[in-house]
């Protein structure tokens, strides 16, 4: 038996404020309430912080560092049925087995090799791994994500893999000032997302928007925003 969790008033206040902010952005965009999910980015924060936020009502958590995420998943195994774990960091070929065995989602697929390894290593006893393809909507030469021109082909290849379930796409545009410029970048991703919705009825997730630009992301069609420091607080310097 795990001891009762003491409520953290600061985390509760932040979580409520963030939920209200998302609701306001959703309403301003003329979209139905509840159409945008919050992914709480818990990297560098411990399992106790995750448990506190979960106690407030949060279910989905994103981890950038695979080994750190696996450790938290193991520590919180008593909550496993009620938590949804997303890998949102880069996945190297030598880390695919851990992602396939421990996580519910991976949002950063940008290569066929990684997708194939995740498919082959997903245990048969688990549901298909939910995946998003990371797309480089800025077309930056040094950025993560599959090129826009190659994204459609990769989506088709993922759809053919039985142990993966294509849910949509993720992007991390370069930060820019101004609502209109932010929307311009997000709308590139939204156009691809709408194309993919015609490919399969599993495509229902457009993961984009963080603390500084979630209003523009929601206005541009995001269904999931990824927020960490606005919820958990400032991270310690590396």
Mean pLDDT of 22-48: 97
For residue 94, tell me if it sits in a domain: yes
For residue 58, tell me if it sits in a domain: yes
Q: How far does the chain reach from its first CA to its final CA, in angstroms?
A: 35
Quick one: which H or E segment has residue 135?
Answer: strand 129-136
Mean pLDDT of 51-64: 95
Number of separate domains in the chain? 1
Residues 89 and 79: their CA atoms lie apart, in Å, by 23
CATH number for the domain spanning 102: value is 3.20.20.10
For residue 238, tell me if it sits in a domain: no
**Does the pLDDT of residue 237 top 60, yes or no?**
no
**Does the pLDDT of residue 3 top 60, yes or no?**
no
What digits encode the pLDDT tens for the residues 78-134?
999 999 999 999 999 999 999 999 999 999 999 999 999 999 999 999 999 999 999
Cβ within 8 Å of residue 117, ≥6 positions away: 93, 96, 97, 100
**Does the pLDDT of residue 238 top 90, yes or no?**
no
Cα–Cα–Cα angle for 216, 218, 221, rounded to 5 degrees: 110
Residue 212: give the domain boundaries.
Answer: 9-231
* pTM of the full structure: 0.94
Mean pLDDT of 218-230: 96
- What's the chain's average pLDDT? 93
What digits encode the pLDDT tens for the residues 148-193?
999 999 999 999 999 999 999 999 998 899 999 999 999 999 999 9
In a 13 Å sphere around the CA of 177, the CA atoms on its Cβ side amount to: 0
Cβ atoms of 147 and 105 within 8 Å: the answer is: no
- Residue entry with tokens 């448990």: 51
**CA-based nearest residue to 113, from 162, 63, 161, 149:** 161
For residue 225, tell me if it sits in a domain: yes
């Amino acid at each position: 038996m795990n001891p009762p969790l003491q409520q953290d008033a600061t985390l509760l206040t932040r979580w409520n404020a963030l939920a209200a902010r998302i609701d306001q952005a959703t309403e301003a965009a003329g979209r139905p309430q509840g159409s945008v999910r919050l992914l709480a980015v818990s990297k560098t924060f411990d399992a106790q912080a995750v448990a506190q936020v979960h106690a407030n009502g949060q279910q989905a958590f994103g981890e950038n560092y695979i080994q750190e995420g696996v450790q938290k998943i193991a520590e919180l195994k008593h909550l496993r049925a009620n938590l949804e774990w997303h890998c949102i960091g880069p996945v190297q070929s030598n880390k695919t087995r851990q992602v396939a065995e421990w996580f519910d989602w991976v949002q950063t697929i940008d290569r066929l090799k990684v997708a194939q390894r995740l498919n082959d290593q997903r245990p048969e006893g688990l549901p298909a791994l939910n995946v998003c393809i990371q797309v480089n909507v800025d077309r930056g030469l040094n950025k993560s994500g599959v090129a826009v021109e190659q994204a459609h082909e990769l989506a088709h290849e993922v759809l053919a893999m039985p142990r993966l379930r294509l849910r949509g796409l993720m992007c991390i545009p370069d930060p820019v000032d101004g609502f209109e410029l932010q929307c311009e970048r997000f709308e590139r991703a939204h156009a691809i997302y709408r194309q993919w919705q015609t490919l399969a009825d599993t495509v229902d997730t457009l993961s984009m928007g963080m603390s500084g630009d979630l209003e523009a992301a929601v206005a541009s069609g995001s269904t999931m925003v990824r927020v960490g420091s606005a919820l958990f607080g400032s991270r310690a310097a590396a």
